[in-house]
Structure 1
Amino acid sequence: MPAHSEDDEDKPCRACSDFKTWAKSQNKVTFTSPTKQPKPRPKDCPLDKDEIGTSTWAFLHSMASYYPKKPTKKQSEDMARFFNIFAQFYPCEPCALDFQADIKQHPPRTENQDTLAKWLCERHNTVNIKLGKPVFDCTRVHERWRDGWVDGSCD
């Protein structure tokens, strides 16, 4: 992980919390009034934990679904190395440490497209369970992240 000073530990981390929690810790108001809808944030603001997570999972799942069906030895090694490096530099430190521990226990499966996509889906479901979110059916990863739903709704 990147080096952090002791002062950093007391500072709220936008990448480690959702926007509302972060804004409250900064004594910033996120609502125009108790009866009105939340004030929309401009699109060019830094991402919060939820936005980073959603974007990251979308990227990683897409990458896994487009990974070669028959990767070379070098591609397989590079992809495994990618996930280990990625886990070191993920911007939310608690999330990064958690992912590092998970992939130490369940190393990246990079033999082919299907094994990588399934491995990543299982890692994502591990996080979903911890967060109380529904698990995803890992047999449908390519439908979700590459081909589009069978019902044609993505066409």
Structure 2
Amino acid sequence: MDYFDKNGKPCKACFSVEDMMKMSKKFSEKKATSSTSSTEINEETIQNVVEERRVKQCPVDKDELGRSTWNLLHTMAAYYSEKPSTEEKKTMETTLTSLSKTYPCSYCADDFRKDLKVHPPKLENRDELSKWMCEMHNRVNKKLGKDIFDCTKVKERWLDGWKDGSCDP
């Protein structure tokens, strides 16, 4: 995967500020003995991007982009028809396929396309799509070493709201 643009800058959709800080620390610890070309990533490039992000708070990094995308996808599944028409099924399938081709993080997009092939979306009704979406999200969480969500609670989390009235899971 190519995580850097043609000028050697880190892809802002592939790395969070925290990722870039870790990379910067590795570069400073390594103190590379060879000079870098203009297309290679270096500590100065990373520090510049980190500082730019810190000051401007934009564009969104991969963590914020991921959270926003999952919020959108889970909400779409939660409000999907209980008895979708053929057209609604096709629209949802096209939306997921299109997202897998246009997502700004190339690594994430490629991984999403692969997962869609192995685990095609279940579009028969709201409950099936919501469960499928949760399972998809959990596969990603597992790869990232994050907690797994209890898929029996998708309706409460994404449609009805938590029973105790809180917004946090």
Normalising by the smaller structure, the TM-score range is 0.7 to 0.9
Question: What residue in structure 1 maps to residue 121 of structure 2?
Answer: 108
The alignment's TM-score, normalised by the length of structure 1, stands at: 0.81
- The answer to whether 1:8 aligns with 2:16 is no
| Structure 2, unaligned runs of 5 or more | 25-44
Contact 2:20 2:50 in 1 (8 A): no
Correspondences of 1:18-97 after superposition (within 5 Å): 18-22=16-20, 24=24, 25-28=45-48, 41-43=55-57, 45-97=58-110
- The answer to whether 1:123 aligns with 2:150 is no
| Structure 1, unaligned runs of 5 or more | 32-38
Q: 1:9 to 1:110 in 2, by over 3 A?
A: farther
Contact 1:109 1:115 in 2 (8 A): yes
Secondary structure at the aligned position of 2:47 is classed as coil
The alignment's TM-score, normalised by the length of structure 2, stands at: 0.75
Contact 1:80 1:109 in 2 (8 A): no
Secondary structure at the aligned position of 1:14 is classed as coil
Query: If you compute each CA radius of gyration, which structure gives the higher value, 1 or 2?
Result: 2
Secondary structure at the aligned position of 2:48 is classed as coil
Identity of aligned residues (%): 49
Aligned length: 142
Q: 1:42 to 1:114 in 2, by over 3 A?
A: same
